């Protein structure tokens, strides 16, 4: 679930606007939870992962 569709029970505004302290706290908590595996990787790690995947693909292609 994304916070852009949630409505705050405290101020009745969208949580994504962060009008009150409750909205801001909920928005910060949801933004922290939304991150998955790939959001925690920096660009260098993504490039290294891509290179490793290509290398495995080349090795498998040569074996077959």
Residues, the chain: 64
What span, in angstroms and rounded, lies between the C-alpha atoms of 40 and 43?
10
For 9, the domain range is 3-63
Number of compact structural domains in the chain: 1
Q: What is the pLDDT of residues 34-64, one digit of tens each?
A: 656 666 678 888 899 999 999 999 999 998 7
pTM of the full structure: 0.45
């Amino acid at each position: 679930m994304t916070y852009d569709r949630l409505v705050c029970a405290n101020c009745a505004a969208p949580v994504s606007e962060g009008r009150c302290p409750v909205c801001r706290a909920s928005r910060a908590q949801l933004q922290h939870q939304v991150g998955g595996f790939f959001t925690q990787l920096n660009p260098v790690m993504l490039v290294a992962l891509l290179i490793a995947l290509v290398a495995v693909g080349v090795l498998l292609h040569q074996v077959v």
